[in-house]
Copies of this chain bind each other. A is one copy, B any other.
């Protein structure tokens, strides 16, 4: 199963918990893996009740891993920073399913991280029950 998210900024976190939750409604028990098939995007689990957390997360990430820090690949495609951060965060998360629901803590949301947007991003969900 898959779905797409169209981002609107260069860097953006988009909450995809509801999209994934809908796909597991008929699964009694198992695991699902949510995977973004792009080398400049990532999937993370993060708080979303205070949306400032998403801005703080991107700020901290850019401070430690700044774009355009003399990267060789920037001469080719000018998005080395996005590739580096995507590899660091990783393209997928695995979540437990119980009684048709994703097992997440109260403050955990599943999020797409676009690091080289705005773009249309494909997200795949594989369920093992």
Binding site for B on A (CB under 8 A): 30-31, 33, 35-39, 44-47, 50, 52-53, 55-57, 59-61, 63-65, 69, 71-73, 76-77, 80-81, 83-84, 86-96, 103-105, 107-108, 122, 124, 126, 128
Q: Contact check, A45 vs B90: say whether CB atoms are below 8 A apart.
A: yes
Given contacts A65-B60, A107-B38, contact A90 B90 (CB under 8 A): yes
- Judged by DSSP, the binding face of A is mixed
Residue of B nearest to A13 (CB): B87
> In the bound complex, how far is the Cα of B41 from the Cα of A47, in angstroms?
11
Contact status of A71 and B59, CB under 8 A, knowing A45-B39, A50-B76, A96-B124? yes
